[in-house]
Amino acid sequence: MSKPMIRIHNTETDEVIDREMTAAELKQYEANQAENAIAKAEAEAKATAKAAILDRLGLTADELKTILG
């Protein structure tokens, strides 16, 4: 399976190179993706928890904004 491509633009020479990621770059890329997936999951869990609390209170998000506003 081919590795993801990256582009490098040298503004001094205006040279543009398109190439596959090196092994190190791929490792970093996958680490970033994993980190982002964790952050996304955490944010989604937080949003779900927030919605559950509002549900228990019988409030909508807009009503909560009104109270806090």
Q: Which of 27, 38, 44, 66: binder of other proteins (CB under 8 A)?
A: 44
Q: Which is nearer to other proteins, 1 or 8 (CB)?
A: 8
Token pair 């937080």 is found at 46
Answer yes or no whether residue 7 interacts with other proteins by CB under 8 A.
yes
Tell whether residue 63 is a contact of other proteins (CB under 8 A). no
How many Å separate Cα 22 from the centre of its chain? 22
Distance from C-alpha of 13 to C-alpha of 11, rounded to nearest angstrom: 6
Could you give the CA distance from residue 35 to residue 57 in angstroms, rounded to a whole number? 33
The residues binding other proteins (CB under 8 A) are 4-14, 16, 18, 21, 29, 32-33, 36, 40, 43-44, 46-47
